[in-house]
């Protein structure tokens, strides 16, 4: 069957399809190579399949794909030894299908703004060669018996030419004559870079510049049963050569109701949320698509590292469409569930190991619990609370542990916490004297986590240790004895009010234990959360911008120093003592600064002389 020389017009209506394609894919020109190499991979795999089912009985031979660059001739050639095409097939698959695919693409996107992100651009396929080439040649010999080699050439308009040619080996050469304005691609390191990015794990060996650039059998394509920890760790190193070892990993392997394989690694993140993002790579049948997986992976799992591979994720659609896609949603909840299962399994099988990793894992767990109710329901059984003395409890264990001593008069269990053990030490020590336990909640997400716990846990409150005087942190409704009578209390209160002369202070006289400070300054839990929120600029708190911060100043009626104040005979002496005990309270709350601090130091020097 001789190939008659033929010239023709490719049947598309849009004559100026090329400028449009160029414009739309401007930022992404390099994907032409991904498209051509993945076509070569497809052609090779199809041939292997035909051989496997007995429909091709010839020698498969070396199936390696080669990419070569000829700087002098200004060409890039992609050569495969796949199934090749007959002249008829070129007409069918290239002239009709590939070109009509391109036309559809342009019609779909021509009205969209250039800034609109289109992931992947799959579907443009072969045609994307014209983004960088002024002329494209296909020289191909079909695997079919007594097939004749054919050469197709087109120069980037809608004209093509097919002729008979000579080709010794089965398969296809795609030769790109690189256009003047795409000369950047006539550069070895550029081409190597593009291949390493998109073809790194393509399933057929790809050679460039004398070296194979890919790993055709990446770990995620293997069966988890045949893999050892070491394999996973080595693969992690291959992906992220400069990262610390991961904590553990999850091997995903689903084929129903959607296809998804991949390996997700839990890195050591501590309190740093930002530097770990954008580390998950998305593949479609081992072809790299993107490392922006924002819509495919739940936000709280974006901190994970690794690879996901799914042919079921639509790749040539816009972001907003992707979010609404049913498969993407399923993949999303599948990943969430798998992560929860893995964490739960680790917790159950190795509690000590889980605890030792919790400073890292805690961030994911809490992020997930805050962001996703379904995840919360699973994680509530393995999420750990850490106390200031580094003991770990599950939510239930902790409630049981503190219930007896930390239930208030309304039956609410009060969880006490510190956000900064160094700064809040005075308050922690006061709580300790009551045998109260104090949790350490000093992570970047803990303020949100605290809110979530209060919403979810019944009859439970969380209070920072400095939210009230220790008597009232857990208000048991039992009034303590006071050594002062009512008249003395009123006098003491007035003395403080006159001396401190600050309308923003709520001064009260309380009957506190003798071993508490003479004066304690606290900021009510609610007020403090408001303040924190407005400082973080979030939560629509702008309207509270000038919200007055009313500090509570509790004067300890039972402290010997307050009695000394009442008993002092000179008003100056009374004022000096009031100021001094108040400064001590400021000091313990890290609020003593500026002139007040200087005066305090002076006064203390005088007193100790």
Instruction: Determine the interface stretch with ligand ADP among 82-90, 283-291, 365-373, 441-449 (rule: CB under 6 A).
Output: 82-90
Instruction: Tell me the CA end-to-end span of the chain in Å, nearest whole number.
Output: 115
- Which residue is closest to ligand ADP by CB? 125
Quote the least distance from Cβ 300 to ligand ADP, whole Å.
Answer: 34
Q: Which does 101 bind (CB under 5 to 8 A by kind): ligand ADP, Mg ion, none?
A: ligand ADP
- Report the distance separating Cα 327 and Cα 254, nearest Å: 12
Residue 207 neighbours by CB distance under 10 Å: 16
Q: Is residue 85 at the binding interface for ligand ADP, with CB under 6 A as the rule? A: yes
What does the CA dihedral 68, 72, 73, 75 come to, rounded to 10 degrees?
Answer: 40
Helices within 445-570 (DSSP H only): 446-456, 470-473, 486-500, 525-535, 560-567
The verdict on whether residue 23 carries a ligand-binding annotation is no
Burial class of residue 233 in the structure, from the number of CB atoms within 10 Å of its CB (0-12 exposed, 13-18 middle, 19+ buried) = middle
Q: Which of 24, 32, 126, 496 binds ligand ADP (CB under 6 A)?
A: 126
Quote the least distance from Cβ 142 to ligand ADP, whole Å.
Answer: 9
Neighbouring residues of 383: CB distance < 8 A, sequence distance ≥ 6: 362, 365, 366, 369, 394, 395
The vertex-368 CA angle with 448 and 330, nearest 5°, equals 140
The vertex-267 CA angle with 364 and 281, nearest 5°, equals 95
Q: Is residue 80 at the binding interface for ligand ADP, with CB under 6 A as the rule? A: yes
Question: From residue 532 to residue 571, what is the string marking binding to ligand ADP with x (rule CB under 6 A)?
Answer: ----------------------------------------
Neighbouring residues of 461: CB distance < 8 A, sequence distance ≥ 6: 408, 412, 413, 414, 415, 454
Cβ density class 511-544: b for 16+ within 10 Å, e for less:
ebeeebbbbbbbbbbebbbbeeebeeeeeebeee
Instruction: Determine the interface stretch with ligand ADP among 124-132, 156-164, 432-440, 547-555 (rule: CB under 6 A).
Output: 124-132
Quote the least distance from Cβ 64 to ligand ADP, whole Å.
Answer: 14
Under 8 Å between Cβ of 25 and 131: yes
Q: List residues near Mg ion by CB under 5 A.
A: 39, 125
What sign for the dihedral angle of Cα 416, 418, 421, 425? Answer: negative
From 60, 39, 58, select the one nearest 144 (Cα to Cα). Answer: 58
Q: Which of 94, 328, 343, 365 binds ligand ADP (CB under 6 A)?
A: 94
What does the CA dihedral 374, 375, 379, 380 come to, rounded to 10 degrees?
Answer: -40
Quote the least distance from Cβ 285 to ligand ADP, whole Å.
Answer: 11
The edge-to-edge listing of strands for the beta sheet with 519-522 is 505-510, 551-556, 519-522
Quote the least distance from Cβ 90 to ligand ADP, whole Å.
Answer: 8
Q: Which of 8, 61, 73, 97 binds ligand ADP (CB under 6 A)?
A: 97
Q: Which does 43 bind (CB under 5 to 8 A by kind): ligand ADP, Mg ion, none?
A: ligand ADP
E-strand ranges in 209-321 read 211-212, 248-254, 260-266, 280-284, 287-290, 305-309
The verdict on whether residue 309 carries a ligand-binding annotation is no
Q: Is residue 173 at the binding interface for ligand ADP, with CB under 6 A as the rule? A: no
With residue 416 as reference, give the H or E element that holds it. strand 413-418
Q: Which does 97 bind (CB under 5 to 8 A by kind): ligand ADP, Mg ion, none?
A: ligand ADP
Largest CA distance in the chain: 123
Q: Which of 68, 75, 101, 429 binds ligand ADP (CB under 6 A)?
A: 101
Q: Which does 513 bind (CB under 5 to 8 A by kind): ligand ADP, Mg ion, none?
A: none
Nearer to Mg ion, 97 or 275 (CB): 97
Under 8 Å between Cβ of 199 and 206: yes
Instruction: Determine the interface stretch with ligand ADP among 97-105, 266-274, 444-452, 523-531 (rule: CB under 6 A).
Output: 97-105
The verdict on whether residue 229 carries a ligand-binding annotation is no
Quote the least distance from Cβ 341 to ligand ADP, whole Å.
Answer: 36
- Which residue is closest to Mg ion by CB? 125
Under 8 Å between Cβ of 512 and 469: yes
With residue 109 as reference, give the H or E element that holds it. helix 99-109
Q: Is residue 246 at the binding interface for ligand ADP, with CB under 6 A as the rule? A: no
Nearer to ligand ADP, 103 or 464 (CB): 103
**Beta-bridge mates of residue 392:** 386
Question: From residue 37 to residue 66, what is the string marking binding to ligand ADP with x (rule CB under 6 A)?
Answer: --xx-xx-----------------------
From 386, 414, 423, select the one nearest 470 (Cα to Cα). Answer: 414
Instruction: Determine the interface stretch with ligand ADP among 93-101, 156-164, 261-269, 299-307 (rule: CB under 6 A).
Output: 93-101
Rg (CA), the chain: 36
Quote the least distance from Cβ 126 to Mg ion, whole Å.
Answer: 6
The verdict on whether residue 82 carries a ligand-binding annotation is no
The verdict on whether residue 184 carries a ligand-binding annotation is no
The verdict on whether residue 101 carries a ligand-binding annotation is yes
Omega of the bond leading into 257 within 30 degrees of 0 (cis): yes
Quote the least distance from Cβ 82 to ligand ADP, whole Å.
Answer: 5
Give the number of residues in contact with ligand ADP, rule: CB under 6 A. Answer: 18
- Concatenated DSSP letters of 308-331: EE-TTS--SSBHHHHHH-HHHHHH
Q: Is residue 402 at the binding interface for ligand ADP, with CB under 6 A as the rule? A: no
The verdict on whether residue 1 carries a ligand-binding annotation is no
Quote the least distance from Cβ 293 to ligand ADP, whole Å.
Answer: 22
Nearer to ligand ADP, 62 or 389 (CB): 62
The verdict on whether residue 532 carries a ligand-binding annotation is no
Q: Is residue 82 at the binding interface for ligand ADP, with CB under 6 A as the rule? A: yes
Q: Is residue 172 at the binding interface for ligand ADP, with CB under 6 A as the rule? A: yes
Q: Which does 313 bind (CB under 5 to 8 A by kind): ligand ADP, Mg ion, none?
A: none
- Report the distance separating Cα 184 and Cα 182, nearest Å: 5
Three-state secondary structure readout of 140-200: EECCCCCCCCEEEEECCCCEEEEEECCCCCCEEEEEEEECHHHHHHCCHHHHHHHHHHHCC
Quote the least distance from Cβ 38 to Mg ion, whole Å.
Answer: 6
Nearer to ligand ADP, 97 or 212 (CB): 97
Quote the least distance from Cβ 39 to Mg ion, whole Å.
Answer: 4
Nearer to ligand ADP, 25 or 385 (CB): 25
Binding residues for ligand ADP, rule: CB under 6 A, are: 35, 39-40, 42-43, 80, 82-83, 85, 93-94, 97-98, 101, 125-127, 172
Which residues carry a binding-site annotation for ATP? 35, 39, 80, 85, 100-101, 172, 319
Enumerate the known binding-site residues. 35, 39, 80, 85, 100-101, 172, 319
């Amino acid at each position: 069957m001789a190939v008659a020389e033929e010239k023709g017009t490719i049947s598309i209506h849009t004559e100026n399809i090329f400028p449009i394609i160029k414009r739309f894919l401007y930022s992404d020109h390099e994907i032409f190579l991904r498209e051509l190499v993945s076509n070569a991979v497809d052609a090779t795999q199809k041939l292997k399949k035909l051989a496997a089912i007995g429909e091709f009985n010839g020698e498969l031979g070396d199936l390696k794909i080669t990419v070569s660059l000829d700087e002098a001739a200004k060409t890039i050639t992609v050569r495969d030894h796949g199934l090749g095409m007959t002249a008829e097939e070129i007409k069918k698959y290239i002239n009709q299908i590939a070109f009509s695919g391109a036309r559809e693409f342009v019609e779909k996107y021509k009205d969209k703004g250039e800034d609109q992100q289109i992931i992947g651009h799959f579907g443009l396929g072969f045609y994307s060669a014209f983004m960088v080439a002024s002329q494209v040649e296909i020289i191909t010999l079909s695997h079919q018996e007594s097939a004749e080699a054919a050469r197709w050439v087109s120069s980037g308009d809608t004209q093509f030419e097919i002729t008979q040619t000579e080709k010794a080996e089965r398969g296809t050469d795609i030769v790109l004559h690189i256009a003047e304005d795409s000369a950047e691609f006539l550069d070895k390191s550029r081409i190597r870079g593009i291949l390493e990015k998109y073809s790194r794990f393509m399933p057929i060996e790809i050679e460039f510049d004398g070296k194979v650039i890919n790993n055709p059998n990446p770990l995620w394509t293997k069966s988890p049963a045949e893999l050892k920890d070491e394999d996973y760790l080595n693969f992690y190193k291959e992906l992220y050569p400069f990262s610390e070892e991961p904590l553990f990993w999850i091997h995903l392997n689903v084929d129903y109701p959607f296809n998804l394989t991949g390996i997700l690694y839990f890195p050591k993140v501590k309190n740093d949320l930002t530097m770990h993002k954008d580390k998950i790579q998305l593949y479609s049948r081992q072809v790299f698509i993107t490392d922006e997986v924002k819509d495919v992976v739940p936000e709280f799992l974006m901190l994970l590292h690794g690879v996901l591979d799914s042919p079921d994720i639509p790749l040539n659609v816009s972001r907003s469409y992707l979010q609404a896609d049913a498969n993407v949603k399923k993949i999303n909840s599948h990943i969430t569930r798998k992560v929860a299962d893995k964490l739960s399994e680790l917790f159950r099988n190795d509690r000590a190991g889980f605890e030792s990793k919790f400073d890292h894992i805690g961030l994911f767990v809490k992020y997930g619990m805050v962001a996703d109710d379904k995840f919360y329901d699973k994680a509530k059984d393995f999420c750990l609370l850490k106390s200031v003395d580094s003991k770990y409890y599950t939510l239930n264990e902790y409630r049981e542990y503190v219930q007896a001593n930390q239930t208030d008069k309304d039956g609410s269990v009060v969880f006490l916490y510190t956000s900064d053990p160094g700064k809040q030490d005075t308050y922690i020590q006061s709580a300790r004297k009551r045998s109260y336990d104090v949790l350490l909640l000093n992570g970047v997400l803990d303020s949100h986590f605290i809110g979530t716990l209060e919403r979810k846990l019944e009859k439970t409150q969380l209070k920072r240790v400095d939210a009230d005087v220790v008597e009232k942190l857990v208000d048991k409704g039992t009034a303590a004895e006071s050594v002062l009578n009512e008249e003395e209390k009123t006098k003491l209160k007035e003395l403080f009010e006159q001396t401190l002369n600050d309308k923003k202070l709520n001064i009260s006289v309380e009957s506190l234990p003798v071993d508490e400070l003479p004066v304690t300054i606290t900021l009510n839990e609610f007020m403090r959360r408001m303040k924190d929120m407005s400082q973080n600029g979030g939560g629509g708190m702008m309207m509270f911008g000038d919200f007055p911060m009313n500090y509570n100043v509790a004067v300890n009626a039972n402290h010997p120093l307050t009695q000394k104040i009442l008993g002092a005979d000179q008003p100056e002496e009374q004022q000096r003592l009031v100021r001094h005990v108040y400064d001590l309270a400021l000091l313990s709350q890290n609020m003593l600064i500026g002139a007040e601090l200087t005066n305090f130091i002076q006064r203390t020097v005088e007193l100790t002389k």
